[in-house]
Amino acid sequence: MKEITCKLLVIGAGPGGYVCAIRAGQLGVDTVIVEMAKPGGTCLNIGCIPSKAIIHAADDFAKTVAMAAGRNAMGIKADNPAIDLAKTMAWKDGITGRLTLGVAGLLKKAGVKIVVGRAKFRDGKTVAVETETGEQVIRAENIVIATGSAPVELPVLPFGASGAKVISSTGALSLTEVPQKLAVVGAGYIGLELGLAFAKLGSKVTIVEALDRILPLYDTQLTQPVGRRLAALGVEVLLGTKVKGLSSNGEALLAETGSGEEKRIAADKILVTVGRKPVTEGWGREELELDMDGRFLRIDEQCRTSMRGIYAVGDVTGEPMLAHRAMAQGEMVAEIVSGKRRSWDKRAIPAVCFTDPEIISVGMSPDEARAASREIKIGQFPFSANGRAMTLSAEEGFVRVVARADNHLVLGIQGVGAGISELSAAFALAIEMGARLEDIAGTIHAHPTQSEAFAESALKALGHALHI
């Protein structure tokens, strides 16, 4: 096969890689992207999008079940709700299919050449790709490593063990029947998002978490409403508990609580969600001399690795392993390769957990702001005092703003509440634009919307909230 030469070669077409390639193509950079699976990476195929589709379907189903059980204050009645999970999955697959086709179309529109196969470095400028029709060698002036991440496997619970009982998030997102009993190992992002969804779909869910709290990334004030929802859905959460493996007959998950009590958790499926690891093997890293930063590839503020002409973006480069961080890095690298002067100067990367209710955090938490030895002001406004939240039966939660006490510069914004993920744009923009409390309080927020809680939280920090 004839060798390809190009200015930019991107390895991996997840959010980091495909955004990089599209932007480079738009800028007229001669670009090739290699992907061994489907365009869109983890995010579009087995991550963000499919999980949010299932979460939404589960939510709708749980509301209908509550209506059928007469637990509906609005007077809506329903009879015998049922869910056909195979159909739900087919609907989800339709969405991911449209999106991945869309990404391929966008790459083509930007003039990017797509090579399908596994890429492996030969040296710092040459990559060989195993394609269906043979080996394709590609030489490039610049190469971007965007190989992403994969689920962490527990040695005591390998994926696929006991007749496919032990599954990763990928397995959970392709189940065609709702497991009667689902054990979830890890109460982080995926464990809680999917654990809640399956509880709503009707599974008896037990979550085992090694630490003494759920969602350790977020402060307890933010996670308390999620804890209450888990309890209301009958989800058992075993904190400070270690998993030991499967019972000898493979029917149950064995665990040990912090006080040494042995637990036997009967389960049809065991979903292991104990974190993700960067994909740093399988693409010829041994042929290069790349500095590492722990388990991740080391990069600088321009996403340059320790080797000239080799960049890295996305999950392979570190925390937070989030799609929007990968995309922002990818876009920046494309511009740098095209000759523009860019460096990473983002103020904040929003984090949203699509639990029930949703949690959001942008910038510094109160503890982080205090640790940075700042005098701070905090304003918190509850959704129970927000008209729109009442009309949505979504009064649980609040918006909290953290600002410097001296000049009122906003340092962080957090919140928990139904549908609050959509406020992430306003929160991130406020921090990116260097807003002060007065800017937020002085912005007219449409009525009735949940966003009014944002303005009210700023007013509260200023000492004169209007609606509480």
Nearer to ligand NAD, 49 or 440 (CB): 49
Please pick, from the candidates 96, 142, 161, 209, the single residue that binds ligand NAD as defined by CB under 6 A. 209
Shortest CB 28 distance to ligand FAD, Å:
23
68 binds ligand NAD (CB under 6 A): no
Shortest CB 307 distance to ligand FAD, Å:
17
Is 447 an annotated catalytic residue?
yes
Question: How many angstroms separate the CA atoms of 388 and 332, rounded?
Answer: 38
Nearer to ligand NAD, 125 or 165 (CB): 165
State the binding string over 220-249 for ligand NAD (x if CB under 6 A, else -).
Answer: -----------------------x------
Instruction: Considering only residues 117 through 176, tell me which ones interact with ligand FAD, judged by CB under 6 A.
Output: 118-119, 146-149, 169
Nearer to ligand FAD, 50 or 379 (CB): 50
Please pick, from the candidates 43, 196, 321, 402, the single residue that binds ligand NAD as defined by CB under 6 A. 321
Nearer to ligand NAD, 209 or 396 (CB): 209
Shortest CB 104 distance to ligand FAD, Å:
12
Shortest CB 238 distance to ligand FAD, Å:
22
Which residue of the set 56, 324, 447, 467 is catalytic?
Answer: 447
208 binds, among ligand FAD, ligand NAD, none (CB under 5 to 8 A by kind): ligand NAD
190 binds ligand NAD (CB under 6 A): yes
Nearer to ligand FAD, 263 or 276 (CB): 276
202 binds, among ligand FAD, ligand NAD, none (CB under 5 to 8 A by kind): none
147 binds, among ligand FAD, ligand NAD, none (CB under 5 to 8 A by kind): ligand FAD
188 binds, among ligand NAD, ligand FAD, none (CB under 5 to 8 A by kind): ligand NAD
Which residue numbers are catalytic? 447
What residue ranges bind ligand FAD (CB under 6 A)? Answer: 11-17, 34-37, 41-43, 47-48, 51, 118-119, 146-149, 169, 190, 279, 282-283, 314-315, 321-324, 326, 354
